[in-house]
Chain A
Amino acid sequence: DQQVKQNSPSLSVQEGRISILNCDYTNSMFDYFLWYKKYPAEGPTFLISISSIKDKNEDGRFTVFLNKSAKHLSLHIVPSQPGDSAVYFCAASRGGGADGLTFGKGTHLIIQP
Chain B
Amino acid sequence: KAGVTQTPRYLIKTRGQQVTLSCSPISGHRSVSWYQQTPGQGLQFLFEYFSETQRNKGNFPGRFSGRQFSNSRSEMNVSTLELGDSALYLCASRGSGFSYEQYFGPGTRLTVT
- Mark A residues whose CB is within 8 Å of B: 32, 34, 36, 41-46, 49, 89, 91, 93, 96-106
Q: Across the interface, which residues of A come within 8 angstroms of B99, CB to CB?
A: 97
Among listed B64-72, B74-82, B102-110, interface-contacting one: B102-110
A sample of 12 more A-B contacts (CB under 8 A), given A43-B106, A46-B103, A46-B104, is A36-B104, A43-B107, A44-B43, A44-B104, A45-B104, A46-B102, A89-B43, A96-B98, A96-B100, A100-B35, A101-B33, A101-B92
Residue of B nearest to A2 (CB): B42
A38 to chain B, nearest CB (A): 9
User: Within the assembled complex, what's the spacing in Å between the Cα atoms of A100 and B98?
Assistant: 13
Q: Show 15 A/B contacts (Cβ-Cβ < 8 Å), sorted by A.
A: A32-B100, A36-B104, A42-B106, A43-B90, A43-B106, A46-B102, A97-B99, A97-B100, A98-B31, A98-B50, A100-B56, A101-B43, A101-B92, A103-B42, A104-B42
Whether the Cβ atoms of B56 and A43 lie closer than 8 Å is: no
A36 to chain B, nearest CB (A): 8
User: Which label, helix, strand, loop or mixed, suits the secondary structure of the A interface?
Assistant: mixed
Residue of B nearest to A89 (CB): B43
In this assembly, does B28 line the interface, its C-beta being within 8 Å of a C-beta of chain A?
Answer: no
Interface residues of B in 44-72 (CB under 8 A from A): 44-45, 47-48, 50, 55-56, 58
In this assembly, does B4 line the interface, its C-beta being within 8 Å of a C-beta of chain A?
Answer: yes
User: Within the assembled complex, what's the spacing in Å between the Cα atoms of A106 and B104?
Assistant: 16
User: Within the assembled complex, what's the spacing in Å between the Cα atoms of A41 and B37?
Assistant: 12
Ordered nearest first, which 10 A-B pairs have the shortest CB separation?
A100-B45, A43-B104, A103-B43, A97-B100, A32-B100, A105-B42, A44-B104, A98-B55, A43-B106, A43-B105
Residue of B nearest to A32 (CB): B100
User: Within the assembled complex, what's the spacing in Å between the Cα atoms of A42 and B98?
Assistant: 26
Residue of A nearest to B90 (CB): A43
B32 to chain A, nearest CB (A): 11
Q: Chain B 4-15, CB within 8 Å of chain A: the 1/0 string?
A: 100000000000
Q: Which of A32, A43, A46 has the most CB of B within 10 A?
A: A43
A95 to chain B, nearest CB (A): 8
